[in-house]
């Protein structure tokens, strides 16, 4: 029995090693052939989809041979892991590969390997770093959105008239798509000649209400439109957190003579910190991919005042057909996001430790 188990383990390890080595060898040869170094084995990358599926089956069979009953339990989570590799890791590697090429779809030459030329061009591109600066401003505005969302959550957590109606009404912007908001507000209500908000502004004394004419006003307008959509998301999360707070703690503080401000500062805010951090992280993720409103309303204008990195990448693909450089922009942005989110999580962890 022990000898049979050892044979099964050896067979499983052999299958994993040989199948993985064979797959990686073909993959490396295909990469080299794309660069013109070796002859092509396959005309495109489609056969590797089938090779990956075969490798997944062999891997699953080998895990069962090696681990027996434990291997059967591993099979419950293995498909999700393999699917993540197929949908995340492979496209990311392919994106890095494309980013190292000069590939313009409007050119008849096709893609050409150019090494780090796209990286050098990116560091010298003022439009890209302007978009990064705009993203810093947009992300910093989340603190104001959080304060508004917390205030609304506190308001809707007390007994006020028509509380259920207001809860539903405040959630309505979240149900709209960014494209609908762009046309409904940005292109219609804020239109400087016939838009109702522009007419109201003229009635209030603003002679020429142009919401997208200057850099500061246009950027602020974009932030307000985006905030109007996503403040309800933070509000509903914070409201759920407020309703889950233990009531005996706040009642005890009232008996001790704590004022409402002291209750919020020393009891509600510290207890709500885990929910607040979750809401802020989700909001930052949505903000970092802000593009729809900018593309549909201003196309990055006036000039490049409202540009985001995502909208800039979109125009690099759509207007210039520059696949290689546009992909390098996306890869560099991903690196910056990973660095930023890692440090943000560390800062949130220290903040939570301070209050707990």
Tens of pLDDT, residue by residue over 9-31, are 888 889 989 999 998 898 888 87
Higher-confidence position of 289 and 204: 289
Q: Length of the chain in residues, anyone? A: 356
In whole angstroms, give the CA distance from residue 150 to residue 146: 6
- Lowest mean pLDDT, pick from 74-78, 96-100, 163-167, 288-292: 163-167
Tell me, which fold does domain 126-355 have in CATH? MetI-like fold (1.10.3720)
Distances 74 to 18, 69, 91 between C-alpha atoms, Å: 21, 9, 25
Of all residues in the chain, the percent with pLDDT exceeding 90 is 35
Q: What pLDDT is recorded for position 246? A: 82
Q: What pLDDT is recorded for position 1? A: 53
Residue 246 neighbours by CB distance under 10 Å: 10
Is residue 352 within 8 Å of 274, Cβ to Cβ? yes
Residue matched to tokens 């313009």: 104
Specify which residues 322 forms β-bridges with: 104
In whole angstroms, give the CA distance from residue 285 to residue 18: 41
Q: What pLDDT is recorded for position 288? A: 94
Tell me the average pLDDT across 245-256: 78
2 has a pLDDT exceeding 70: no
pLDDT tens, 135-162?
Answer: 999 999 999 999 999 999 988 888 777 7
Residue matched to tokens 């999360």: 237
Domain ranges (residues) in the chain: 2-115, 126-355
- Lowest mean pLDDT, pick from 87-101, 147-161, 193-207, 263-277: 193-207
Residue 307 burial (C-beta neighbours within 10 Å; 0-12, 13-18, 19+):
buried
Higher-confidence position of 252 and 287: 287
Distances 140 to 131, 168, 269, 280, 321 between C-alpha atoms, Å: 14, 28, 20, 11, 32
Question: Which residue intervals of the chain are DSSP H helices?
Answer: 2-34, 46-67, 69-74, 78-84, 90-99, 117-123, 126-140, 142-156, 163-171, 178-181, 196-203, 215-243, 247-255, 260-263, 269-271, 273-288, 292-297, 309-318, 323-355
pTM: 0.85
Is residue 102 within 8 Å of 112, Cβ to Cβ? yes
Question: pLDDT-derived band of residue 293, with 50, 70 and 90 as boundaries?
Answer: very high
Cα three-residue angle 190-196-201, rounded to 5 degrees: 80
In DSSP notation, 66-124 reads HHTHHHHHHTTTHHHHHHHIIIIIHHHHHHHHHHTEE-BTT-TT--EE-TTHHHHHHHT
In whole angstroms, give the CA distance from residue 103 to residue 115: 12
pLDDT tens, 185-227?
Answer: 887 888 877 788 888 888 888 777 888 888 888 999 999 999 9
In DSSP notation, 192-232 reads TTT-HHHHHHHHTT-SS--TTSSHHHHHHHHHHHHHHHHHH
């Amino acid at each position: 029995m022990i000898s049979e188990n050892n044979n099964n383990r050896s067979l499983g390890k052999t299958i994993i090693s040989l199948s993985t080595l064979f797959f990686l060898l073909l993959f490396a040869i295909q990469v080299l052939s794309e660069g013109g170094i070796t002859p092509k084995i396959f005309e495109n990358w489609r056969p590797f989809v089938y090779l990956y599926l075969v490798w997944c089956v062999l891997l699953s069979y080998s895990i069962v041979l090696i681990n027996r009953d434990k291997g059967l339990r591993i099979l419950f989570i293995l498909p999700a892991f393999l699917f993540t590799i197929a949908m995340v890791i492979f496209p990311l590697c392919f994106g890095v590969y494309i980013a190292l090429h000069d590939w313009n779809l409007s050119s008849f030459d096709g893609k050409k390997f150019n090494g780090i030329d796209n990286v050098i061009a990116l560091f010298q591109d003022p439009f890209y770093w302007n978009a990064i600066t705009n993203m810093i401003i947009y992300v910093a505005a989340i603190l104001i959105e959080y304060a508004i969302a917390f205030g609304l959550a506190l308001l809707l957590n007390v007994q006020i008239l028509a509380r259920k109606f207001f809860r539903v009404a405040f959630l309505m912007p979240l149900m709209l798509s960014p494209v609908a908001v762009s046309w409904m507000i940005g292109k219609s209500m804020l239109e400087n000649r016939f838009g109702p908000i522009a007419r109201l502004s003229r009635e209030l004394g603003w002679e020429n209400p142009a919401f997208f004419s200057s850099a500061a006003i246009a950027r602020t307008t974009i932030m307000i439109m985006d905030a109007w959509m996503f403040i309800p998301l933070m509000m509903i999360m914070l409201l759920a957190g407020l309703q889950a707070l233990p009531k005996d703690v706040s009642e005890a503080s009232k008996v001790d003579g704590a004022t409402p401000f002291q209750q919020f500062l020393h009891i509600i805010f510290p207890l709500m910190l885990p929910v607040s951090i979750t809401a802020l992280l989700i909001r930052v993720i949505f903000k970092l991919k802000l593009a729809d409103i900018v593309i549909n309303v201003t196309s990055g204008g006036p000039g490049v005042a409202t540009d985001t990195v995502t909208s800039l990448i979109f125009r690099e693909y759509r207007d210039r057909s520059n696949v290689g450089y546009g992909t390098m922009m996306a890869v560099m942005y991903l690196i910056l996001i990973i660095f930023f989110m890692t440090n943000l999580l560390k800062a949130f962890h220290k903040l939570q430790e301070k209050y707990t």
